[in-house]
């Protein structure tokens, strides 16, 4: 049976089947992205912290905008070429469209990669520092973890003398990392005492592992297996005993409702205990001699004398100094601190000058004094250009909070080069991947600093965990990127595998390309909304 209206349009709607389908699909897409954009706007309006403004590099986003607009034009040309039965022109324009999609995703990948490697920290006084962490070094060589990756200088350090693992929840990579660090520092991790357990009903205890046995994942898994078998066996015994008690209670109280007997039903634990197997919930290992172990801050709840990992491993030992070490600080942001100062009725400049970083870091004081001088120049220029409002007596234009309270990497460059704000020399590459840290090292443009752990309120890469802005940014641009990839794959399929369809039924292929083009126009439209919202506002 031939499906009608595959090529020819319906008389009532003037549309063929796939065109109706794509419009219905795009309606659902409008609701999806419309909801996301609306949520972004309302969250920004009601934000209880300074919303990031113009924090993304504009040039990559602007280029991506023109790339997508150009691809929307070429996909129309490709469709027109099919209508004119010109296969070669179709291939050329469709290839350009696919190439534009690939270029778009490359730029987006570069932008994402920069964010995933850029560190931010909010201090307890609400100052925000941004930059790149240093790498742990020994003998001028980077220290590697058990996976061979360099370790950033942002760890909680504990001089561990023992580790107590939860036999059910222990996380294998963390065990391997602890072993790797202990071995690197010349320490051994061994079982603190014999692990004995009753493993069969009616028999005595058996030694599962002897004291002094080296820690290994296999050993923990063996103990965990004994523990889980025992727990399952004991649960079956308790369930059977409880069923028997309920039956007896029901027989002794005919006509009563079961729920009325709940308080009187219990298991005879003394009779049951001889049949129970040994459950080994935790197992302790000594670290001899005690050595420093490093843990990522999000993995551990540190404490004096005893710290706990997220898998319930207890690390016993002295908590050491664990500063965050920045090898390049490329921004100081006081906007959050200033907002909190205004809420308390304090002059923002006074609060900033009393902040930890200004009080303790000479480079921060110098940057702040330079920024105040630049703000004063900007105020004078705005006053000269726009004048004073007659009704209020205040200047018509004033520096924004970002201009007053944020010192970014371009400001650091301008300050070092003796230029005014916006006049520091930067290069095209830096607009994509950030400043040239190595090239600016001789001028000490981007300072190094240690941030004591007690001053750190929150730290993160520029990922969704950093703030709501980045959470929505990655959600919307990530979804949009998936749409770009999906659309490009469909267009690539038409380019590479539809020669036979063109020869047999060129109008059908033209209709398919038209439908794909409508989707591609929608993808372009979403980006035209996303670009100003995220990059310009």
Token code pair at residue 377: 């120049």
DSSP state of 536: I
Comparison of pLDDT for 231 and 245, the residue scoring more: 231
Domains of the chain by residue range = 17-118+464-536, 156-321, 326-461
Sorting pLDDT into bands at 50, 70 and 90, what band is 256?
low
pLDDT per position as a tens digit, 7-24: 566 666 656 567 877 888
The Cα 468–Cα 475 span in angstroms is: 10
Beta-bridge partner residues of 283 = 165
* Strand 156-166 to 282-295 pairing: antiparallel
Gyration radius of the chain over CA positions: 33
Give the pairing type, strands 156-166 and 188-191: unpaired
Q: Which residues pair with 195 in a beta bridge?
A: 209
Q: What is the mean pLDDT of the chain?
A: 90
Q: pLDDT tens-digit profile of 439-490?
A: 899 999 999 999 999 999 999 999 999 999 999 999 999 999 999 999 999 9
Q: Is the pTM of this model over 0.75?
A: yes
The CATH class that applies to domain 17-118+464-536 reads mainly alpha
DSSP state of 520: H
Please, are residues 356 and 456 in contact by the beta-carbon 8 Å criterion?
no
Q: Can you read off the two tokens belonging to residue 50? A: 């300074």
Query: Is the Cβ–Cβ distance between 165 and 282 less than 8 Å?
Result: yes
DSSP reduced 3-state for 482:
helix
Q: For tokens 């696919």, what's the residue?
A: 98
CA-based nearest residue to 275, from 242, 237, 223: 237
Whose tokens are 């670290």? That residue is 287
Q: How far apart are CA 288 and CA 266, in angstroms?
A: 46
Nearest to 160 by CA among 191, 195, 188, 193: 188
Q: What percent of the chain has pLDDT over 70?
A: 95
Structure confidence at residue 278 (pLDDT): 93
- What average pLDDT does the segment 296-309 reach? 93
CA 396 – CA 390 distance, rounded (Å): 9
Q: What are the structure tokens assigned to 58, written together? A: 């504009």
Burial class (CB in 10 A: 0-12, 13-18, 19+), 190: middle
Compare 209 and 7 and report the one with higher pLDDT: 209
Backbone angles phi, psi at 265, to 5 degrees: -95, 125
Collapse the DSSP code of 277 into the 3-class scheme (helix H, G, I; strand E, B; otherwise coil) and give the result: coil
Number of helical (H) and strand (E) elements in the chain, helices listed first: 16, 16
Give the model's pLDDT for residue 429. Answer: 81
User: Using CB atoms within 10 A of its CB, is residue 288 exposed (0-12), middle (13-18) or buried (19+)?
Assistant: middle
Distance, C-alpha 288 to centroid of its chain: 37
Residue 197 pLDDT level (bands cut at 50, 70, 90): very high
SS3 content of the chain, % helix, strand, coil (to 5): 55, 15, 30
Q: What pLDDT score was predicted for residue 315?
A: 97
Q: How far apart are CA 309 and CA 153, in angstroms?
A: 19
The better pLDDT of the pair 78, 505 is held by 78
Tokens 């049951």 belong to 272
Between 506-531 and 58-83, two packed helices, what is the crossing angle to 10 degrees?
Answer: 160
The DSSP letter of residue 259 is G
First to last CA, the chain: 55
Please say whether the beta carbons of 176 and 146 come within 8 A: yes
- Give the separation between CA 42 and CA 53, rounded to whole angstroms: 16
Would you say residue 1 has pLDDT above 60?
A: no
DSSP state of 533: I
Write the burial class of residue 436 (CB in 10 Å: 0-12 exposed, 13-18 middle, 19+ buried): middle
Q: How far is CA 61 from CA 2, 55, 58, 74, 473, in A?
A: 47, 12, 5, 20, 13
């Amino acid at each position: 049976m031939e499906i009608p209206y595959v090529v020819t349009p319906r008389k009532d709607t003037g549309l063929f089947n796939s065109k109706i389908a794509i419009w219905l699909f795009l309606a659902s897409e409008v609701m999806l992205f419309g909801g996301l954009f609306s949520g972004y706007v309302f969250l920004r309006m009601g934000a209880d912290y300074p919303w990031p403004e113009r924090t993304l590099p504009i040039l990559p986003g602007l280029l991506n905008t023109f790339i997508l607009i150009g691809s929307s034009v070429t996909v129309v040309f490709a469709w027109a070429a099919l209508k004119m039965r010109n296969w070669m022109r179709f291939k050329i324009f469709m290839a350009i469209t696919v190439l534009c999609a690939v270029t778009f995703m490359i730029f987006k990948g570069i932008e994402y990669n920069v964010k995933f490697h850029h560190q931010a920290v909010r201090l307890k006084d609400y100052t925000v520092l941004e930059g790149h962490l240093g790498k742990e070094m020994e003998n001028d060589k980077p220290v590697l973890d058990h996976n061979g990756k360099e370790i950033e200088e942002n760890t909680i350090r504990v001089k561990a003398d023992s580790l107590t693992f939860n036999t059910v929840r222990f996380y294998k990579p963390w065990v391997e990392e602890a072993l790797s660090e202990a071995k690197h520092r010349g320490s051994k991790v061994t079982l603190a005492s014999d692990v004995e357990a009753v493993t069969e009903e009616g028999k005595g205890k058996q030694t599962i592992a002897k004291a002094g046995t080296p820690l290994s994942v296999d050993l923990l898994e063996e103990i965990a297996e004994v523990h889980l078998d025992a727990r399952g066996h004991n649960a079956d015994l308790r369930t059977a005993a409880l069923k028997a008690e309920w039956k007896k209670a029901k027989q002794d109280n005919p006509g009563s409702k079961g729920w009325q007997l709940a308080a009187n039903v219990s298991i005879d634990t003394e009779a049951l205990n001889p049949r129970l197997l040994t459950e080994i919930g935790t197992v302790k290992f000594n670290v001899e001699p005690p050595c420093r172990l490093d843990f990522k801050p999000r993995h551990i709840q540190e404490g004096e004398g005893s710290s706990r990992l997220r898998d319930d491993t207890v690390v016993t030992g002295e908590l050491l100094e664990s500063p965050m070490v920045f090898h390049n600080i490329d921004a100081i942001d006081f906007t959050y601190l200033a907002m909190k100062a205004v809420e308390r009725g304090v002059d923002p400049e006074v609060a900033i000058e009393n902040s930890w970083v200004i009080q303790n870091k000479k480079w921060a004081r110098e940057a702040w004094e330079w920024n105040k001088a630049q703000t004063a120049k900007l105020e004078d220029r705005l006053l000269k250009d726009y004048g004073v409002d007659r009704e209020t007596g205040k200047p018509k234009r004033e520096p924004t909070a970002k201009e007053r309270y944020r010192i970014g990497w371009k400001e650091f460059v301008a300050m070092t080069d003796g230029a005014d704000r916006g006049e520091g020399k930067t290069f095209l590459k830096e607009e994509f991947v950030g400043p040239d840290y190595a090239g600016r090292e001789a001028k000490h443009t981007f300072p190094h600093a240690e941030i004591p752990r007690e001053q750190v309120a929150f730290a993160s890469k520029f990922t969704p965990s950093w703030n709501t802005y980045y959470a929505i940014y990655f959600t919307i641009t990530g979804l949009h990127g998936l749409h770009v990839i999906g659309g490009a794959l469909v267009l690539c399929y038409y380019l590479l595998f539809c020669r036979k369809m063109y020869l047999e039924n060129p109008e059908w292929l033209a209709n398919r390309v038209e439908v794909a083009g409508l989707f591609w126009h929608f993808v372009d439209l979403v980006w035209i909304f996303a670009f100003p919202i995220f990059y310009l506002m």
